[in-house]
Amino acid sequence: MKNSAVKADFSYSMMKRLKTVLKRSPVEVATLGVLVLLSGYFALPSAARATASALSVGRSTALEVSAMQNATLPFGQLPTSGLRNPTYTMRVVASAYNSLPEQTDDTPFITANGTYVHDGVIAANFLPMGTLLKIPDYYGDQVFIVADRMNKRYDQRIDIWMEGVHEARQFGVRTVAIEVYRK
């Protein structure tokens, strides 16, 4: 009896405060809403709270198990998107370079866009970073990416990164046709 009287007094005082707060700021209204929700939660008997908590844990565990099983299901073969037709083709002078200090700056293995050099990296000043291109006469369908820059005196020229010095010297300097693909 005493407990229900305290709850009634609390509810009455909350309602009285609500009427006062509604004339005030939204922050106070939100705070009051939280207090009302908390008072309703604590008014529940502890056995009901324990049951609700157990159901919540059971549901949560079931969802976690389902997610783990779903993560291990095979997805099959995902479609791959090839390059479309080239945006344009052009002829440029091509040379090759290596990660040697005399051919690069003080970080010979880092490209201008911050990635490590790898097969398929091209340096070019006249193309935006990330531009994809092919050199079909010499490399067939291999796709290259512009990830590095050259000395500013080389305007319409590409420089292909190669791992071996002998390979780069053998490539030399030649005019090649390139197919440019915009992202």
pLDDT at 39: 66
When comparing pLDDT for 64 and 72, which is higher?
A: 64
Which comes out higher in pLDDT, residue 139 or 40?
139
pLDDT tens digits for 14-43? Answer: 666 656 655 666 777 677 677 666 666 666
Given a cut of 60, is residue 74 above it in pLDDT?
A: yes
User: Between 51 and 178, whose confidence is greater?
Assistant: 178
Protein fold of 88-181: Barwin-like endoglucanases (2.40.40)
Q: Mean pLDDT across the stretch 49-56?
A: 54
Secondary structure (3-state) at 64: helix
The runs of H, that is alpha helices, within the chain are: 2-21, 26-43, 46-71, 136-139, 165-171
User: How far is the C-alpha of 162 from the C-alpha of 98, rounded, in Å?
Assistant: 5
Residue 2 has pLDDT above 60, yes or no: no
- The CA R_g of the chain, rounded to the nearest whole Å, is 34
- Tell me which of 7-21, 93-107, 119-133, 169-183 is least confident: 7-21
Sign, Cα dihedral of 93, 94, 98, 99? positive
For the chain, which residues make up each domain, given as ranges? 2-71, 88-181
Confidence of residue 55 (pLDDT cuts 50, 70, 90): low
